[in-house]
Amino acid sequence: MTGTGGVLGRTVAGVREQDAAGRLRVALPPRFCPLPSAVHPDARLLNARAAVWLNGYGLCRDGAQRVRMAGNDVGGFYGRIMPRAPADRLQLAVDWCALMFAFDDLHCDEGPASLRAGDFAGFATRLLRVLEAPGTVPDGAGDPFLRAAGDLAARCRAEGTPVQIRRMVDGHRSWFLGVLWEFGCRLRDRTPSLDDYARLRQHTAAGTATTSWMEVVDGAEIPGAAMDSPVVRALSELAFTTAAFDDDLFSYGKERWLTARAPRPARCRLNLVDVLAAEHGLGLEAAMAAAADLCDRLTLRFVRLRDQVLPGAGEPLRHYLDHLSHLVRGNLEWGLRAGRYTNPDGRHPEAVRTTGSFTLTAPRNDTPPPVPSIAWWWDRF
């Protein structure tokens, strides 16, 4: 079974072409993904409200930044994770996505800012403190990112429990620590090993920072005995690492397009395709195939482990596992369409086109991959 419509038609895996206009074309191998697909009916409205909210803090109002904000399709992103959530509660998570995509672009991994680890560390710790204590930034004062984050934190406290708030803050702490690791790689100008990359990827992609909003939107608190159990931790890590590795596939064209235009391209590559190529001496097509195969194996392990847990799960945990299931499939569908990746700098629409497809044919290999830092997901829980 393959996806249909848009950019989800059949493709020839691993082909990359660049035409005379500088447009980049990337075709991905089919992805095994027997997970549900849905989009929130109010995704466009959620997007529009998020734009108004972000613009209200003076962010992404004009030019390329506004184009990129619109192309992020934050309503489509979180609307695929929680397609049945009440729109008014889901707006909190969608607004967070709008702010954090802008934060990521301006402070984390593009342009000169991607090498200023000291600047990032100072700003990230202030941002973390705002999430911990919303009154840190007075209304109308300070950096607009911090003021917007303060609003999110205050709204989170109005909707969430103390445990959910702590989980949200801890998720951001993990994200910022992962980004600092990325800064270290760039400053050394060295591509990391596959084991190190796999260990950190869920954090550099804001894994628990993203998933923490699911519980707040749902309302019901997942008991710690369930949420912190090894099997649920494994499912959480599996879902977001898979999603993050898929990010590497559908953002590959954007990264290559930007690298080709950089005045001094770095040797450090922070993308699963390039990490596999460097570690195993693979060409582009073989590295893409290996990346997709790893994503397929992680997806199969997630599905089998989830099905093992669901029969004994309480209602809040069942909802959480359902959201993780939608995340894996929805993230890939979103990424193959989002303007964030087709218009890399906000000034070149359709500069990159990535095509992909889905299959129900499961990978034959269900053993742990030779990556020690993630092999424990195959433990017998």
**Tokens encoding 267:** 């040797």
Cβ contacts of 125 within 8 Å, gap of 6 or more: 176
- 3-state SS string over 95-155? HHHHHHHHHHHHHCCCHHHHHCHHHHHHHHHHHHHHHHCHHHCCCCCCCHHHHHHHHHHHH
**Which pLDDT does position 6 carry in this prediction?**
34
Per-residue pLDDT reduced to its tens digit, 76-95: 999 999 999 999 999 999 99
CA-atom Rg of the chain in angstroms = 20
Distance CA 381, CA 215 (A): 24
Distance CA 278, CA 81 (A): 33
C-alpha angle with apex 154: 149 to 159, nearest 5 degrees? 120
pLDDT band at 11 (very low <50, low <70, confident <90, very high): very low
Q: To which residue do tokens 């922070």 refer?
A: 270
pLDDT band at 114 (very low <50, low <70, confident <90, very high): low
| Higher-scoring residue by pLDDT: 212, 3 | 212
Distance CA 255, CA 270 (A): 10
**In the chain, what percentage of residues exceed pLDDT 90?**
76
CATH 1.10.600.10 fits 16-378, yes or no: yes
**Which pLDDT does position 170 carry in this prediction?**
97
Q: To which residue do tokens 């904000």 refer?
A: 69
Per-residue pLDDT reduced to its tens digit, 40-49: 999 999 999 9
Phi and psi of 82, rounded to 5°?
Answer: -130, 70
